[in-house]
Amino acid sequence: MNEGLFSKHSSLNAGAIPASAEELSQRYTKLFQQYSRLKAQHAVLKKAEQASNVALQGNLKEKEKELRKLQEQLDLLSFHNERLTKRIQAVQESDQKGNHFSILGGSVKKELAKSTQALDAASLDLEQKIKENERLHEELTERKLEFTDGINTLQKQIKDLEQRVQELQVENTQFNQSNTGESSTQEAQPEQSLKRTIDELQLNLSQKTQLLEELEQTIQQNNSHLLLEIRSLRTILLAKVDDIENTSLKDVLSESSLKTLEDEANNYIHSIGNSTSELKISHETWREEFVKASTELQEKKKELDEFLERARQGQDDASLFTTQIKELHDKYDQEMKQLDEKHKEKMNQVNTRYEDQLKEYLSTKDDSMNKIQQLEMLNDALKKENTKLEQEIEQIHTTKPFKIDNETQTDAVIEKKENTENVVYPKEEQEEVEEAFVYTGVDAQPSTVKQEEKKEKDDDNQENIQMLKLFYEQKIKNMTEKLQKTDSKVVIFAEMYKKAKEKLASEEKDKQVMISEIVRLDNEVKRIKDLLNTEESNYQKQINLMTEYIATIQEQQSDR
């Protein structure tokens, strides 16, 4: 549609004079007012249709109630018919039982059998005709409902057409104020044709209503005739049954009565067949006429719709462009708001993550530095202890052997004992030294005393050396264990330091990724803004072209 309009506009735009902005605004306001008025009329028509639908539903319910009542009456009639048949069977059985004591001959029995057969056939025919009558009643009610629905729809269509004609007259008066008399005469022709069609449809409706009334009258007459015949047959049967109980068989079942019954049944069957054929023919004719009227109405409705569409094309196009522009503006604003919100959220998330990562990095860095300092202090202390132990071990290994001097032997032994006792057991060995130097007043022999003293000193020296060896060996073991523990701690802290470095590297990578995403989102926002600006400019150009095209059309109408 839009491409065809633009092609027409390009062909007619050669000698067109552009309209002013005030005129365009006035025309748009008029078009908007007309659109609002049409919308209100549409709402009113919709409400009227809903009300008519409600009324039709109420009528349907009432008709259903009437059908139920008729069915109840038919059930009662069938019940009475069955009761009569049972009574006839009982009478026949009693007659058969009394045949042994009867005086009559076989001819009477044959006549009775024939009469019973005829009565059975007549009763069966009556039942069939009653069922057919019920079916015909149902069909008639259905056809009445269809006919009433068709009349209501036709009346609604006529009302709608009249309202549309009035609307078109008002619109033509508004549009033709600036036009000449020639255009008014040309546009009055379709209105006259529409009025003629409406008059013809009204005549058709009146004829159809007359036909309906005639059909209803004929149906009522047929119903009354059927009821009279059923009542007459019932009275005849009841009378004959009562007479059989009191009189003889010859008086009851004569040939003339049987013939009359057969003639009445045949006449009744023929009359019902004729009535059904007439009803079928009338129904078919009514249906054909109804189809013709509906097709004519649909054709006229299509013509009116085409005329209205031609008149409203300019309004629809202008309203479509305005609505499209509004929708685009709304979409643009919504997308911009959404993008701004997303951008803010992502920036806040990135900043919070970056701050948290910095805090974690600084805290881990401080912890690692403190641990490294502690390890260095431990290493220094352990090195000092190792040096001390090595010096002590060297001193132990570098101790000189004892000199055997008779004069200074006691003094040397005492000094070495004091040194060893100060390291291991200082107090007890001092007492022993003091006891060793107690003078008893008796001088021992020089050779034996010296030998014994030498032996004792040698034994004591060996014991002291063994004790010192054990003591330093234990110290060396303890120090080696401490060194092993410090080595394991150093390895653990080195691994922790490596992990902290790896975490920092991964956090820096994440930071770079987030920065790249922010840049990408900024580029997307810019691209969307550019697209929206281009679309807005394109739609603005289209609106300008449409306004120029509408102005040219209106000028051409005014020239006509």
Q: What is the pLDDT of residue 65?
A: 81
- Long-range contact list for 174-182, CB < 8 A, 24+ apart? 174/30, 174/34, 175/311, 175/557, 178/557, 178/558, 179/557, 179/558, 179/560, 180/560, 182/560
Is 101 a residue whose pLDDT tops 60?
A: no
Of all residues in the chain, the percent with pLDDT exceeding 90 is: 0
**Residue listed under structure tokens 């036009």:** 179
309-332 pLDDT, tens digit per residue, is 765 665 566 566 667 667 776 776
Is 203 a residue whose pLDDT tops 80?
A: no
24-42 pLDDT, tens digit per residue, is 778 778 888 877 788 788 7
- CB of 388 closer than 8 Å to CB of 472: no
- CB of 424 closer than 8 Å to CB of 464: yes
Q: What is the pLDDT of residue 313?
A: 65
Handedness of CA 432, 438, 440, 443 (dihedral sign): positive
H/E run at residue 72: helix 21-97
DSSP-derived secondary structure for 470-539: HHHHHHHHHHHHHHHHHHHHHHHHHHHHHHHHHHHHHHHHHHHHHHHHHHHHHHHHHHHHHHHHHHHHHH
**Cα–Cα–Cα angle for 77, 80, 84, rounded to 5 degrees:** 135
Would you list the domain boundaries of the chain? Answer: 41-96+111-170+187-312, 404-438
